[in-house]
Amino acid sequence: MEKDHCISRLVFLKGASFAAFAGVAGRAVAADNGGVDAAQTGEAQLSQRPWLSTDVLVVGGGPAGVCAAIAAARNGAKVLVVEQSGMLGGMATQGLVGPFMTCYDKAGEKMIIRGLFEEIVDRLVARGGALHPKGVFGNGPYSAWIPKGHDHVTPFDPEELKVLLDEMCAEAGVKVLLHTTFVEPVVKDGRAAGARLFGKGGYRCVAAKIVVDATGDGDYAFRAGVPCVLGDGNGRLMPATMFFRVCNVDSEKLIADIEANKHTFHKKDGVSYRGFHWYVTKAIEAGEWDLPRRCLNMYRGVGPDVWLVNNGRIPGVDATDSESLSRAEVEGRRQTKVMMDFLRKYVPGCREAILMCTGSTVGIRETRHVSGEAMLKVDDVMNGVVPEDSVFLAANSVDVHGGKNNPMVSSYKTINANWYGVSYRCLVAKGVENLLLAGRCLSGEPAAAGAVRVMPPCMAMGQAAGTAAALCVKTGSTPRTLDAASLVKTLKAQGAFLG
Ligand SMILES: Cc1cc2nc3c(=O)[nH]c(=O)nc-3n(C[C@H](O)[C@H](O)[C@H](O)COP(=O)(O)OP(=O)(O)OC[C@H]3O[C@@H](n4cnc5c(N)ncnc54)[C@H](O)[C@@H]3O)c2cc1C
Q: What is the pLDDT of residues 22-54, one digit of tens each?
A: 232 333 333 333 444 555 554 345 346 678 899
Q: What spacing in Å lies between the alpha carbon of 280 and ligand 1's midpoint?
A: 29
Report how far ligand 1's centroid is from the alpha carbon of 463 (Å).
16
- 374 and 343 fall within a common domain: no
Pocket test for ligand 1, best of 427, 454, 459, 461 (most atoms within 8 A of CB): 454
Same domain, 257 and 227: no
pLDDT grade, residue 135 (50/70/90)? very high
- Average the pLDDT over 278-295 and give the result: 97
Nearest C-alpha to atom 49 of ligand 1 is from which residue?
90
The Å distance, Cα 476 to ligand 1 centre, comes to 31
CA distances (Å), origin 60, targets 1, 219, 467: 23, 10, 16
Considering the domain architecture, whether residues 10 and 125 belong to the same structural domain is answered as yes
In a domain, 6, yes or no: yes
Residue 51 lies in a domain: yes
Residue 97 within a domain:
no
How many degrees, rounded to 5, is the angle at CA 472 between CA 469 and CA 474?
Answer: 110
Give the closest residue (by CA) to ligand 1 atom 14.
454
Indicate whether residue 427 lines ligand 1 (CB < 6 A): no
Atom of ligand 1 nearest to the CA of 94: 49
- Is 454's C-beta closer than 6 angstroms to any atom of ligand 1? yes
Nearest CA to ligand 1 atom 37: 215
Taking 60 as the threshold, does the pLDDT of residue 415 lie above it? yes
Q: Is the CB of 185 under 6 A from ligand 1?
A: no
* Predicted local confidence at residue 48, as pLDDT: 60
What's the CA-to-centroid distance between 264 and ligand 1, angstroms?
A: 33
* Residues with Cβ within 8 Å of residue 476, at least 6 apart in sequence: none
Q: pTM (2 decimals)?
A: 0.92
Is the CB of residue 66 less than 8 Å from the CB of residue 220? no
Over the stretch 212-258, which tens digit does the pLDDT of each residue have? Answer: 999 999 999 999 999 999 999 888 999 999 999 999 999 999 999 99
Determine, yes or no, domain membership for 202: yes
Q: What percentage of the chain has pLDDT greater than the value 70?
A: 90
Q: In this structure, are 68 and 215 located in the same domain?
A: yes
- The verdict on 295 and 433 lying in the same domain is no
Residue ending a domain, among 358, 390, 409, is 358
Co-location of 229 and 249 in the same domain: no
Q: What is the pLDDT of residues 423-437, one digit of tens each?
A: 999 999 999 999 999
Q: Give the per-residue pLDDT at 33.
A: 37
Residue 181: CB within 6 Å of ligand 1?
yes
Q: Which of 155, 71, 166 is nearest to 461 (CA)?
A: 71
Residue 261 lies in a domain: yes
Looking at the fold, whether 338 and 381 belong to one and the same domain comes out as no
Does 85 sit in the ligand 1 pocket, CB within 6 Å? yes
Residue nearest to atom 16 of ligand 1 (CA): 454
Residue 352 belongs to what domain range? 244-358
Q: Is the CB of 311 under 6 A from ligand 1?
A: no
CA of 382 to the centre of ligand 1 (A): 23
Has residue 10 got a pLDDT over 90? Answer: no
In a domain, 13, yes or no: yes
Render pLDDT for 156-169 as a digit per residue (tens, 0 to 9).
Answer: 999 999 999 999 99
Same domain, 340 and 371: no
- DSSP one-letter code for 17: P
Last residue of a domain, one of 306, 340, 358: 358
CATH of the domain at 427: 3.50.50.60
Would 141 be classed as within a structural domain? no
Residues 372 and 471 in one domain: yes
Any atom of ligand 1 within 6 Å of the Cβ of 349: no
The CA 440 to ligand 1 mean position distance, Å, reads 7
- Calculate the alpha carbon distances from 468 to 83, 200, 370, 374 in Å: 21, 31, 18, 16
Ligand 1 atom 48: the closest Cα is on which residue? 90
| Binding site membership of 363 for ligand 1 (Cβ less than 6 Å) | yes
Residue nearest to ligand 1 atom 34, measured at CA: 60
Summarize pLDDT for 443-486 with one digit per residue, the tens. Answer: 999 999 999 999 999 999 999 999 999 999 999 999 999 999 99
Same domain, residue pair 288 and 314: yes
- For the Cβ of 182 lying below 6 angstroms from any atom of ligand 1, the answer is yes
Q: Is 90 in the pocket of ligand 1 (CB under 6 A)?
A: yes
Query: Can you give the length of the chain in residues?
Result: 499
**DSSP code string of 213-265:** E-SSS-HHHHHTT--EEETTTTS--PPBB--EEEES--HHHHHHHHHHHGGG-
Share of the chain above pLDDT 90, in %: 84
- Domain final residue, candidates 338, 358, 378: 358
CB 89 within 8 A of CB 63: yes
For atom 13 of ligand 1, which residue has the closest CA?
454
| Residue 314 lies inside a defined structural domain of this protein | yes
Q: Is there a single domain that holds both residue 174 and residue 31?
A: yes
Confidence class for position 201, pLDDT limits 50, 70, 90: confident
Question: Does 158 contact ligand 1 (Cβ within 6 A)?
Answer: no
What pLDDT score does 42 carry? 44
Distance 7 CA to ligand 1 centre (A): 26
CB of 440 closer than 6 A to ligand 1?
A: yes
Mean per-residue pLDDT over the chain, rounded: 91
Measured CA to CA, the distance from residue 100 to residue 133 in angstroms comes to: 9
Number of folded domains that form the chain:
2
Residues 350, 403, single domain; the answer is: no
